[in-house]
Amino acid sequence: MAHIEDYALIGDLRTAALVAADGSIDWLCLPSFDSAAVFAALLGDPGNGRWTLAPATGARCSRRRYRGDSLILDTDWITAEGQVRVTDFMPPTGPGGQVIRIVEGIAGSVRMQTSLALRMEYGKVVPTLHNVDGHVLATAGHHSVWLSTSITLAELDNCLTADFTVAAGDRVSFVLTAAQVPTPTEPTGALTATAAFWDRWIARCTYDGPWADAVKRSLVILKALTHAPTGGILAAATTSLPENIGGTRNWDYRYCWLRDSSFTLQAFQATGFDEEVTAWKDWLIRAVADNPSDVRIMYGLDGTRHLPERSLDWLGGYQASAPVRIGNAADGQIQNDVWGEALDALCPAHVAGRSRTDGDRRLHQILLRQLEDNWREPDNGIWEVRGPRRHFVHSKAMAWVGVDRLVRSLEHESTAGEIRRLRNLRRTMHDEICDRGFNAALRSFTQCYGSSRLDASVLLLPRYGFLPWSDPRMVGTVDAIQSHLTRDGLVLRYAAGEAGRTNCDGIPGSEGAFLACSFWLADALHGIGRTDEGEALFERLLSLRNDVGLLSEEYDVATGHHLGNTPQAFSHAGIVSTALHLSRQLPDVLASSAIPASESAAS
């Protein structure tokens, strides 16, 4: 089976597919990111659905790459017979839910094989195949998928197979479409339109620092994780890729967390992509409109509030890492950091001089109400602890961030009394966090009030303007986390407990280094003046990307393999933000803040 880092992503801003380095598409949900998969071999075996397309000699490709700053994937094989290229893409300007594969002979004459095993309902249901006017129609219940190609296909063991040869200059195309009726598509024209789309989109990027290639690739991946019809932003394109191989820490990330979205929005805002921020704001307004008194921490792409979690017992899991889950039980958790993160993402537009709409005002009031009602309560925290709720320092600090952003956003249009109330609340929060969240013996902020456990999330405090990097408490925090919360120089989310159980959630099994946290440490090292160390860590993190620039959620320093769902928005937002920090192209939150000195200095 392919390793997680062996996969490349193609997508159309509605759904996405994972293409292995041997030419097999092992994951595809149709017609949307959170729909049931029609190729689920990633989480099971070939019988759960996949689409192979490669030279008859098989084996890993010789080279693959994206075309420029696009999601058009070129995979090359050089064999004894010659050279062949497979171009895989999904047109963002097309009907949606369409995968196009173009086989092109480069040199010699290469024998090719393809096997298309469509399996509906996450690999459980074998569809019925029909030949309709030269197209192949696969149906199962209300699901319909069409395949169009110029070559002759045979049906064997509920798969569509073909052997064919391409000589230099030959082209053979395949078009797979999720639709009730076949959609006429000319592959070469669709390829040209797709390339033009990505060229236009990335041209808006304003970053011009030394890591431009890495930043642009990550921005394209983040864009690929946006849902064009609604404006929602996914955490990742997959479900149940494990945080530890063979373990049970396998979660469905194909949904829209307010927190994860805020990190993506920070990356977009800082690099010139304001349209994505506006689209997400409109998505959030629609999502909360149904029940504004109960804003959720996460939603489905269409604003669905409840995402019940269940296991797919017929899938064995990636490398026997079961169960495979769809839905996410975290949708009912209390995570008090998300209101502040959402306000942090929403308010900069108004600071920049944009007028607030009535929808903006309602949304700000809804989030403020959630924040004020809940900030003193224990919660499940940023790491979605499935256990007792605690007073997480990060959650408290993000509540402070939300109030701070509202103070800055509203001070020119709210009453003096309201602004005074919010400033007093901000000061109260700040004093409490500094008093109860800092451990003098450790010289560090900790995971929870009164705790001695470290947590990488507190590295974010200066990033949001809670304290300056020069504050001795932050310098001590950086030193403590670097000394006690790293594995081979990469950062763990929190310390491992006894007998292989993580101290935070009690779920058996360890996990890898959390890549987003490692980017936060690079930011922190730069922030406290150890810029060379920060840059060295950043360069190392960039080296962990796969051959086409993708990062998953975690990294196993023992094996050198990726872990967790992929590609992960958290990780790619980290690339963008750290490049901006190190290039000094990210605004200093404290410098632009209206925070009184008494609130940003030592308490």
Per-residue burial over 118-150, b if 16 or more Cβ lie within 10 Å, else e, is bbbbbbbbbbebeeeeeebbbbbeebbbbbbbe
602 inside domain: no
Taking alpha carbons only, the member of 525, 527, 463 closest to residue 491 is: 525
434 inside domain: yes
Structure tokens at 345: 């993402």
CA atoms within 13 A on the CB side of 529: 7
> Which range (41-50, 157-166, 289-298, 430-439) has the least confidence?
289-298
Same domain? 44 vs 124: yes
Sign of CA dihedral 230, 231, 232, 234: positive
Q: Look-up: residue for tokens 């937002």?
A: 573
Same domain? 262 vs 166: no
pLDDT at 505: 54
- pLDDT band per the 50, 70, 90 thresholds, residue 506: low
CATH code assigned at 573: 1.50.10.10
pLDDT at 276: 95
Q: What is the pTM of this model?
A: 0.94
Same domain? 134 vs 221: no
- For the segment 129-156, the average pLDDT, to the nearest whole number, is 92
pLDDT single digits (tens) 355-369: 677 777 888 888 899
Phi first, then psi: give them for residue 69, nearest 5 degrees.
-100, 60
Same domain? 513 vs 468: yes
199 inside domain: no
- For the segment 120-124, the average pLDDT, to the nearest whole number, is 96
pLDDT at 504: 52
597, pLDDT greater than 70: no
601 inside domain: no
pLDDT at 593: 44
- For the segment 273-277, the average pLDDT, to the nearest whole number, is 94
- Could you tell me what percent of the chain has a pLDDT over 70? 93
Same domain? 512 vs 573: yes
- For the segment 340-346, the average pLDDT, to the nearest whole number, is 88
176, pLDDT greater than 70: yes
422 inside domain: yes
Taking alpha carbons only, the member of 344, 436, 338 closest to residue 384 is: 338
Same domain? 70 vs 208: no
Same domain? 392 vs 350: yes
- Could you tell me what percent of the chain has a pLDDT over 90? 79
| H or E element at residue 441 | none
pLDDT single digits (tens) 12-29: 999 999 999 999 999 999
pLDDT at 599: 55
pLDDT at 294: 84
198 inside domain: no
**Which domain-ending residue is among 188, 221, 244?**
188
* Structural domain count, the chain: 2
321 inside domain: yes
- pLDDT band per the 50, 70, 90 thresholds, residue 500: very low
Structure tokens at 195: 């390339």
Q: Are 67 and 52 in contact (CB under 8 A)?
A: no
Q: Where are the alpha helices (DSSP H) in 90-143?
A: 120-123
- For the segment 115-128, the average pLDDT, to the nearest whole number, is 96
Q: Is 55 exposed, middle or buried (0-12, 13-18, 19+ CB in 10 A)?
A: buried
512, pLDDT greater than 50: yes
Same domain? 368 vs 483: yes
208, pLDDT greater than 70: yes
Same domain? 284 vs 135: no
351, pLDDT greater than 50: no
- Beta strands 486-487 and 490-491, pairing class: antiparallel
257 inside domain: yes
- For the segment 1-19, the average pLDDT, to the nearest whole number, is 96
Q: Are 460 and 491 in contact (CB under 8 A)?
A: no
d(CA 175, CA 391) in angstroms, rounded, equals 52
- pLDDT band per the 50, 70, 90 thresholds, residue 449: very high
For residue 42, the enclosing domain spans 4-188
Same domain? 182 vs 223: no
Taking alpha carbons only, the member of 15, 9, 203 closest to residue 94 is: 15
CATH code assigned at 46: 2.70.98.40
**Which domain-ending residue is among 127, 157, 188?**
188
Q: Look-up: residue for tokens 């996914």?
A: 234
pLDDT at 408: 86
Same domain? 272 vs 399: yes
**Which domain-ending residue is among 188, 213, 229?**
188
- pLDDT band per the 50, 70, 90 thresholds, residue 584: confident
499, pLDDT greater than 60: no
How many Cβ atoms are within 10 Å of 79's Cβ, its own excluded? 18
pLDDT at 592: 43
- pLDDT band per the 50, 70, 90 thresholds, residue 42: very high
Q: Crossing angle, helix 274-289 and helix 338-346, to 10 degrees?
A: 130
Same domain? 138 vs 229: no
Q: Look-up: residue for tokens 């709210």?
A: 414
- pLDDT band per the 50, 70, 90 thresholds, residue 587: low
pLDDT at 55: 97
What is the pLDDT of the chain when averaged over all its residues? Answer: 91
